[in-house]
Structure 1
């Protein structure tokens, strides 16, 4: 007997069970990333005795390059093979990561683990983004992305705190990475047994898709080739290209925070527990803030949220460069998290607003290719500058780049949310 299935419906409420499940799965994805946040920079110095910031940041570079490339393929493969197989493949790739980190005899093993981590994050996080956009429909994309990114980055923050505690109590290895192993096991089970395919929701939205009244998107029809999707998302289309460069600079910031902030804090004499708090506060504010900012961008619009968020990040980075104590770095981390929360889900919502449902998964992949390429750019740039002129000089340069990125968004991007456009007219 064949089991009948209900036809797909759009909306978060109409798909609440699957949407909530995908939020939970993305929290596990974030947890796998968070297991490294506090511990790995300390492991590099204390266990492997690395000198030179550029060499130390090879693990961020390896992660950034592979995650950026995998994001692109995740979008293409999601259209070709379906969302669920790509999600499950990403979890299977993660199985060796905790083992490699626990047993690594040399730094090259850590770099290899981060190559796998980049593939894991690119496949799983990209696919949960695509699936939530499929389910939510056009009206609440900002809220959908806020919930997705909040779950992921709150998990990063909580895991950073937990691994910092485990490292302080039991040592840098193996305890912190056993937590990551439990996340991988749960992710495989939930993705394989309970997640349902969402391509049908994208096809439903494509059948209802209406063109903009101002004709701005007339050239972005359903039949774009992958090459045309890449060109429009990267360069040609103003909103998509502005989002792509802002995403890259945003993750350049995160690569800096991930790779160099713990070292900067350690040079000031902070304890492992306080470094863990600072490493967690930034993604915690980032994660929790997206619960509000994604929803507000559905009401107030995307462009100004992104511009303000980039400028707030620049100010926070400048404060990090100026400060030298825990009690000044703490508000700087809060400010950096708040600015990132304004930007992160809103940029994804812009891609969802502009891209046609027929090629939206590919556009998300291209956007995330550029965005997560920021990890690699940040690792190289910050590492070289830190080696030549010091840690604080690297933070100052990234702060300036972030301010310039915000100005580019203000000049180049137009408002993309349909409700806001109607109010503005």
Structure 2
């Protein structure tokens, strides 16, 4: 099919879009297989008592995924989206097997390096492919559906592995579910997913902005500079994304240990580990679409501040009910932020270099896992888990205030402004 014959929009591409939603659910399920079990595995089977040492797997995952996100954007622009997606699934196959057979903690860390590669390639590419298919009008809804599928799968798998661990032990049964996800994801990607790079070229051919430099010729270094610090909305999104995933790294690595010290059962820990990403996932079905109507900035600022309040609540609470309520608020705040930040990048970046901009944004965002592992582990070793939660709560509040100050509204309908000149950033537009 020629580029000119391709159509943009969710309705025109419903079958492929739905398939990609299912594929991303499998990507999320692979990640969710670790959420309940791995922190407890570190403590109970590998006798890791120092929090910094126990969180090395999150550090390895986050650092690797961040770098791979960046590469995924560049590779998908050069070689196409589908080959990058398939490479991500090939990297996923050994992950559950390495954890099942691990004779030492180093094997688990190595498995999470591969998990970071897999998630960076596969999740980044499903994001890029959905942006390609959706076109500009419904980008927030597209990202809401994508991220909802991924994080609902994280939640249901975290809950399922908690039950499996309670019934059958921490290994190997919970990780057999992850192996099934990887095999199914690889099979669907090989057999049924179609290339979407042509849709991006189709949008680029009709995209109207300022200078020719905006359409073509931006180096990867230029794109990285714009997304990281030069362009106000892109840089605000990058810092908010990093802090958001710093929160998630804290929740992944330390919350199960905090709950265990309070005497909660494996089933209760699994419920709490699932509740936060479940609300996060479901909420994105609403927030992504709502940001198409009401704008991106209100959801980003309110979501970061809500996460800060939720983390402070978790630091003060001391029981299942209090932690469950705080997990709901944390999930709601994250749902407000997650698809909206991706939609913001899609709003500002030109289709010719949008995949690279998404890669740079996700480099910063998932670098938050590594920063969170180092920061939360160090503070927890020095002053306890609750102190680490308080520190992250303060950082999250600061991130929300920074987004409020620096970010402008990027959705054209909400802003009632022409698109910003991202090739030559100037003063922040006034909405």
Q: Quote the residue 1:304 is aligned against.
A: 298
> Deviations along 1:266-308, whole A, 9 cap, x unmatched?
0111011000000000000000000000000000000011000
Q: Quote the residue 2:427 is aligned against.
A: none
Whole-angstrom distance in 1 between the partners of 2:402 and 2:212: 24
8 Å Cα contact 2:3/2:201 also seen in 1? no
Whole-angstrom distance in 1 between the partners of 2:348 and 2:333: 23
Whole-angstrom distance in 2 between the partners of 1:265 and 1:209: 51
Q: Quote the residue 1:83 is aligned against.
A: 81
By how many angstroms is 1:219 displaced? 6.8
> Deviations along 1:307-334, whole A, 9 cap, x unmatched?
0000000000000000010010000000
Q: What is the CA RMSD across the aligned residues, in angstroms?
A: 1.5
8 Å Cα contact 2:312/2:393 also seen in 1? yes
1:322 and 2:316 aligned: yes
Q: Quote the residue 1:154 is aligned against.
A: 152
1:283 and 2:281 aligned: no
Q: Quote the residue 2:234 is aligned against.
A: 240
By how many angstroms is 1:422 displaced? 2.0
Under a length normalisation based on structure 2, what TM-score does the superposition of the two structures give? 0.95
User: Cα gap change, 1:346/1:102 in structure 2, threshold over 3 Å: closer, same or farther?
Assistant: same
Q: Quote the residue 1:378 is aligned against.
A: 372
Gaps of 5+ in 2: 418-429
- Is the partner of 1:223 in helix, strand or coil? coil
The one of 215, 224, 234 aligned to 1:230: 224
Whole-angstrom distance in 1 between the partners of 2:125 and 2:326: 32
Q: Quote the residue 1:408 is aligned against.
A: 402
> Deviations along 1:229-253, whole A, 9 cap, x unmatched?
0000001000000000000000000
8 Å Cα contact 1:93/1:116 also seen in 2? yes
Gaps of 5+ in 1: none
Whole-angstrom distance in 2 between the partners of 1:80 and 1:208: 21
By how many angstroms is 1:6 displaced? 9.0
Q: Quote the residue 2:116 is aligned against.
A: 118
8 Å Cα contact 1:222/1:357 also seen in 2? no
- Is the partner of 1:415 in helix, strand or coil? coil
> Deviations along 1:46-81, whole A, 9 cap, x unmatched?
111111000000000000000000000000000000
- Is the partner of 1:112 in helix, strand or coil? helix
Under a length normalisation based on structure 1, what TM-score does the superposition of the two structures give? 0.97
Whole-angstrom distance in 2 between the partners of 1:236 and 1:296: 28
Q: Quote the residue 2:426 is aligned against.
A: none
By how many angstroms is 1:358 displaced? 0.1
- Is the partner of 2:227 in helix, strand or coil? helix
Whole-angstrom distance in 1 between the partners of 2:321 and 2:3: 56
Which moved further from structure 2: 120-129 or 42-51? 42-51
Whole-angstrom distance in 2 between the partners of 1:94 and 1:113: 9
Whole-angstrom distance in 2 between the partners of 1:418 and 1:38: 41
